[in-house]
Chain A
Amino acid sequence: MLRYIARRIIQFIPVFLGVTLILFVMQNVVPGDPIKLIAGEKKLDPQTEINLRASYHLIETDENGAPIFDEEGNTIETPLWKRYISYITGLLHGDLGRSYQQNGKEVTKILSQKYPYTFKLAVVAIVLESIIGIAAGMVSAIKRYSAWDVGVTLVTSGLVAMPAFWFGMLQQLFWGILMKQWTGGGFYLPISGTGGPYAEFPSWVYYILPALTLAAVSTAYTARIMRSQLLEVLNQDYIRTARAKGLSRRAVIWRHALKNALIPVVTYIGMDFGGMLAGAILTETVFNWPGVGFETYRAISQRDWPIVMGSVTVIVIVVMVINLIVDISYAFLDPRIRFDGSNNE
């Protein structure tokens, strides 16, 4: 097992280098000069512009950080490969660079402020998704062709078809405006922007709508996967064997069918959790949620490349680690899977 994990972590390296390299090249292809954008509408003073470029290592500098000029008095642009290497070197030292826009604030600092919100939202969403999705799928499979099953199928089809941002807006409209009398505007607060993007959200209430929106589509998929898996497992020969032993239908489902049916569902939920930790751009934007997704969206629109690079770098690592955990969890669910080639047929 340990050897397997080590091998997988080594496999992270090329994936990681590939993704960051592609992004690094892309940010140089996208039109728009980020340094000029710092000043917005105003013209930048040439000396300030040179100093800014030097401080972001976009032009060659000497040991003291002063810019180097060529014979014609122009600055020398640092080649892409050099900047990439210095980015990776900085990364290995835990330095993701500084933001262009937010007064040169360190990216690591920005991300560490945003990540808790994304993480908490993802946890609430994944808990909702697991409980509602698995329960709905089980009821649907066990009471096949009943009103329950039809209801679950209809609702899941609706949720899958609905874009997340629209579902979020509908909820805001319904709970925040139409039901204001009833909710007392409680659901309304986080979406009105009161308190700004750095507002603290002390109450769990504020998680409900964003988490529901974030979990909606995947809950529908979870329910569908659970239903089809459970139906398939219930047709297996070993279920008949368990029934022939004298186990009750309930015992057969809980002890024999569930564990087998859950294997693909756990995969799906695990992958989905990785995706949610990567930041839910649509949900976070609709709800003004101060998480990584919203921050990344903002950074892209402002060409704030260090933040985009930083958050993507963290996302790549998080997704790869989550995938590894999902793969390892297989071994505990399904004894037929062994990672070191031993005990295998």
Chain B
Amino acid sequence: MFGFGRKKKQATDWVDLKTQPVPEGHHLLEVNDLKMYFHTQDGVVKAVNGVSYTLDRGETLGVVGESGSGKSVTSLTIMGLIDMPPGKIEGGDVLYRGRSLVKMTEEEMEHIRGNDIAMIFQDPMTSLNPVYTIGRQLSEGMILHRGYSKQQALQRSIELLQMVGIPNAEQRVKDYPHEFSGGMRQRVMIAMALACDPDILIADEPTTALDVTIQAQIIELMQKMQEENGNAIIMITHDLGVVADIADKIMVMYAGQPVEFGTAEEIFYEPIHPYTWGLNRSIPDPVIDEKRPLTPIKGNPPSLVNAPAGCAFSPRCPYATDLCRTEQPPTYVTETGHYSRCHYAHDASFVSANAPETSRTKTMLDHAADAVAAAQEGGEA
């Protein structure tokens, strides 16, 4: 997997793609029917099976799904960080500014990674190299992509640390990762990802390993950075709540496939796929009563080796029919581009009868009303 060859780095004729305009008729990032399969001893794992979306500068895409739904593998495929073998791209394409990332050579991808597309990982505790200072790790990308001297890179590292809100940055830049808390390390990771001013920032569950109190700070920081730099964000999470406020578009993934895709409003207020309903019902409500019970989705995600014959969600879907269990659902697309892979998505009466009452704002209003009522009762008693 790793080569020994002592080749000269930095092809001089490379032109930074992010300085080029997006070609006519293209988006910043286009993922078309991407399929990434893993060939293992147990069989072929269809980790990503037909994912499509588009993304433009300044936009935020939320990718939501359970563990093993293929959301991380999708982004690692875009970054070219999947080892092949065992992985293999079985079809589809990823276009960045009109150029295919799938067809790029390893050396070309090295120019893209960290420079045009940067990534933040789930666990900040293990994502930094323990034996090098923060400053050195921050500098690395800038020295590589921008040709900075060590001194320039260190100076810029201090600025970056200040930007992401690390106090006393001049001193902290000389510290080692273990001298930072989890939240601070994730800030360092964000600073590192933004060091070369990338077009796209992929955040793979950036808040999962952090304290609840720190989660909001990190999300806010990413939003603030996006406002300043205008980069696009792909936010991968299993928590619908995380993407609720910041995502423009949301893709819900299940068993390697996108089952529903739409704007954040569509996914939250007018979801048309039973799996999205299930996710919505699984968000704990501050007030649990008969009207808003906490209803987890029963069962486990299917094996990606022996996927169910029909709809992948059918074994767990409370509305599944024989049609669902035998035939793959088609993609139903509305006029707004909101799509769902469900046999009954087009059936408005089915949707309205079964969709949960999840309008967040509405629930909030209800809560406010409940609170007022409770206060009044308390006052009367």
CB–CB B178/A336 < 8 A: yes
Quick one: which of A136-173 are within 8 Å of B by CB?
139, 142, 144
B57 at the interface (CB under 8 A from A): no
Cα–Cα, bound, A343→B130 (Å): 15
Query: What interface size band does chain B fall in?
Result: 35 or more
Interface centre among A139, A243, A334 (most CB of B within 10 A): A243
Residue of B1, B9, B119, B131 near A334 (CB, 8 A) is: B131
Secondary structure class of chain B's binding surface, majority of residues: loop
- Identify which of A96-104, A115-123, A250-258 touches chain B: A250-258
Residues of B within 8 A of A333 (CB): 131
CB 8 Å contact bits of B122-149 with A (1 = contact, 0 = none): 0100111111110000001100110000
Residue of B4, B140, B178 near A245 (CB, 8 A) is: B140
- Known contacts: A241-B127, A246-B114. The answer to whether A142 contacts B2 by CB under 8 A is yes
Residues of B within 8 A of A236 (CB): 126
Chain B nearest Cβ from A76, distance in angstroms? 64
B99 at the interface (CB under 8 A from A): no
A94 at the interface (CB under 8 A from B): no
A242 at the interface (CB under 8 A from B): yes
A247 at the interface (CB under 8 A from B): yes
B112 at the interface (CB under 8 A from A): yes
CB–CB B79/A244 < 8 A: yes
Q: Which residue of chain A has the shortest Cβ distance to B79 in the bound complex? A: A244
Cα–Cα, bound, A237→B126 (Å): 6
Chain A nearest Cβ from B153, distance in angstroms? 12
CB–CB B126/A245 < 8 A: no
A240 at the interface (CB under 8 A from B): yes
Q: Which residue of chain A has the shortest Cβ distance to B5 in the bound complex? A: A250
CB–CB A248/B113 < 8 A: no
Residues of A within 8 A of B131 (CB): 259-260, 333-335
Cα–Cα, bound, A260→B177 (Å): 14
The number of residue pairs between A and B whose CB atoms lie closer than 8 Å in the complex comes to 94
Residues of A within 8 A of B236 (CB): none
A69 at the interface (CB under 8 A from B): no
CB–CB B114/A238 < 8 A: no
Chain B nearest Cβ from A227, distance in angstroms? 13
Residues of A within 8 A of B106 (CB): 248-249
Chain B nearest Cβ from A328, distance in angstroms? 16
CB 8 Å contact bits of A223-245 with B (1 = contact, 0 = none): 00000000000101110111111
- Known contacts: A244-B119, A246-B144, A247-B140. The answer to whether A336 contacts B130 by CB under 8 A is yes
CB 8 Å contact bits of B303-323 with A (1 = contact, 0 = none): 000000000000000000000
Query: Interface residues of A, CB < 8 Å — how many?
Result: 31
CB 8 Å contact bits of B95-124 with A (1 = contact, 0 = none): 000000000001100111111001101010
CB–CB B126/A248 < 8 A: no
Interface centre among B3, B7, B112, B192 (most CB of A within 10 A): B3
Chain A nearest Cβ from B67, distance in angstroms? 16
Q: Which residue of chain A has the shortest Cβ distance to B110 in the bound complex? A: A246
Cα–Cα, bound, A238→B131 (Å): 11
CB–CB B176/A244 < 8 A: no
Quick one: which of A301-345 are within 8 Å of B by CB?
333-336, 343, 345
Q: Which residue of chain A has the shortest Cβ distance to B138 in the bound complex? A: A245
Cα–Cα, bound, A251→B9 (Å): 10
Quick one: which of B168-187 are within 8 Å of A by CB?
176, 178-179
Chain A nearest Cβ from B2, distance in angstroms? 4
Chain A nearest Cβ from B111, distance in angstroms? 7
Cα–Cα, bound, A246→B128 (Å): 15
Cα–Cα, bound, A89→B123 (Å): 59
Chain A nearest Cβ from B134, distance in angstroms? 11
CB–CB A256/B129 < 8 A: yes
What would 14 more interface pairs be, CB under 8 Å, given A245-B141, A249-B1? Answer: A237-B126, A245-B114, A245-B118, A245-B192, A246-B112, A246-B114, A246-B115, A248-B107, A249-B106, A255-B140, A333-B131, A336-B176, A336-B178, A343-B179
Binding site for B on A (CB under 8 A): 139, 142, 144, 234, 236-238, 240-253, 255-256, 259-260, 333-336, 343, 345
A-B contact pairs, 19 of them (CB 8 A): A236-B126, A237-B123, A237-B127, A240-B81, A241-B121, A241-B129, A243-B81, A243-B113, A244-B79, A245-B140, A246-B111, A249-B2, A249-B3, A249-B106, A251-B9, A335-B131, A335-B133, A335-B178, A345-B179
Binding site for A on B (CB under 8 A): 1-7, 9, 79, 81, 106-107, 110-115, 118-119, 121, 123, 126-133, 140-141, 144-145, 176, 178-179, 189, 192
Per CB-CB distance, the 3 closest pairs between chain A and chain B, nearest first, are: A246-B114, A246-B113, A245-B114
